[in-house]
Structure 1
């Protein structure tokens, strides 16, 4: 039965019975077995479609993590510059980058698939004495997570690069360690030099 005819009959039955038969009841009287079979088939299809969505969401998450990791590596070496980068490159890739990936995965899990497309990575790492490597921000420009590196100088131990991140959950107060890399006894050059 065409949909327009069914709708018209539902309205007419409701009018003639002065509202004693609701549109839902009238529609139930008019639904044929073939219509019920079609609804059942469409419900089954939508069930399978919802089963596919976690795979799509997982693919979106993997795509975001891959994109973020490329940016993280590129911006880290941009921050290190030509003087620091070659010295700490191997240790950074072995120790720090896997921990950055775990932190990015933690962020990706908190956002459903499509919302990950709205997360961006800031473009310029800080130079000089600045700690900033990069931040991940949402579509409103608010920071979600901040990745930093700080120069530490424990007494009589030389200089260390302390890699850490902060999250918006505690207003960026807590340092979550990513790892440390020893520089030398002498003062390291400024970032991006």
Structure 2
């Protein structure tokens, strides 16, 4: 029975009996929407279940090596600029981006692709140090807490030249003893401010 016809009969019945008699239940019952009355195809349900299961499996997959490297490189760049602070960054940012950071990217990518060591699983990037400390960031294994790569910058006061920032890295292969050079950036003849110094 059409919805409008049922409503009309319901109203007419109520008027005719002055509301003293309740209309038949068949007039009050509303039809379910057509999509509920039509039985769903079991094949459709299965495909929905399978796609839901597939999406759950995709979410549980560990990130690929490329994704891990990309994340670490992004963090490494962010931590480097955080180390410089505003006062130093404004002077060396362009040269760092063009000369030093591409070498850092190359080193990080190389080690993460070549090393099969368990130390190169579950990696994270540490925070930089302020003041006059050399530490830019360390890449370390989160399970063991051991560093695998250390990236540092040393202040050098060269006679008659002024201050330079020497960028270098260390690896766990020789217990971080040797300095592997990444390049140097000139600061000024005046003493540079502390790392992580910001303009007020």
TM interval, shorter chain, is 0.5 to 0.7
Give per-residue Cα distances to partners, 1:47-104, cap 9 Å, x unaligned.
xxxxxxxxxxxx8232122111111111111110110011111000000110001110
TM-score (norm 2): 0.63
Q: Is 1:187 the counterpart of 2:191 in the alignment?
A: yes
Q: Give, in whole Å, the separation in 2 of the partners of 1:115 and 1:140.
A: 8
Q: Give, in whole Å, the separation in 2 of the partners of 1:98 and 1:68.
A: 14
Q: Give, in whole Å, the separation in 2 of the partners of 1:93 and 1:160.
A: 16
Checking the alignment, whether the CA contact within 8 Å between 1:161 and 1:182 is kept in structure 2 is: yes
Q: Give, in whole Å, the separation in 2 of the partners of 1:145 and 1:117.
A: 13
SS of residue paired to 2:103: helix
Indicate the residue corresponding to 2:148 in structure 1. 144
Moved over 6 A (4+): none
Indicate the residue corresponding to 2:85 in structure 1. 81
Give per-residue Cα distances to partners, 1:159-191, cap 9 Å, x unaligned.
000000000101101001111100011110000
SS of residue paired to 2:131: coil
Number of corresponding residues: 136
Q: Is 1:126 the counterpart of 2:126 in the alignment?
A: no
Please point out which of 135, 138, 154 is paired with 2:138: 135
Provide closer, same or farther for how the CA distance between residues 144 and 117 of structure 1 changes in structure 2, counting only shifts above 3 A.
closer
SS of residue paired to 1:146: strand
Residue segments in structure 1 that go unaligned for 5+ positions in a row: 1-58
Describe how 1:30-49 pairs up with structure 2 within 5 A: none
SS of residue paired to 1:166: strand
Provide closer, same or farther for how the CA distance between residues 170 and 90 of structure 1 changes in structure 2, counting only shifts above 3 A.
same
Checking the alignment, whether the CA contact within 8 Å between 2:131 and 2:194 is kept in structure 1 is: yes
- Shift, 1:119, TM fit: 1.2
Q: Give, in whole Å, the separation in 2 of the partners of 1:174 and 1:115.
A: 19
- Shift, 1:126, TM fit: 0.5
Describe how 1:3-152 pairs up with structure 2 within 5 A: 60-112=64-116, 118-122=122-126, 124-138=127-141, 139-152=143-156
Structure (1/2) with the larger helix percentage: 1
Provide the aligned C-alpha RMSD in A: 2.3
Q: Give, in whole Å, the separation in 2 of the partners of 1:137 and 1:126.
A: 15
Residue segments in structure 2 that go unaligned for 5+ positions in a row: 1-62
Q: Give, in whole Å, the separation in 2 of the partners of 1:150 and 1:102.
A: 20
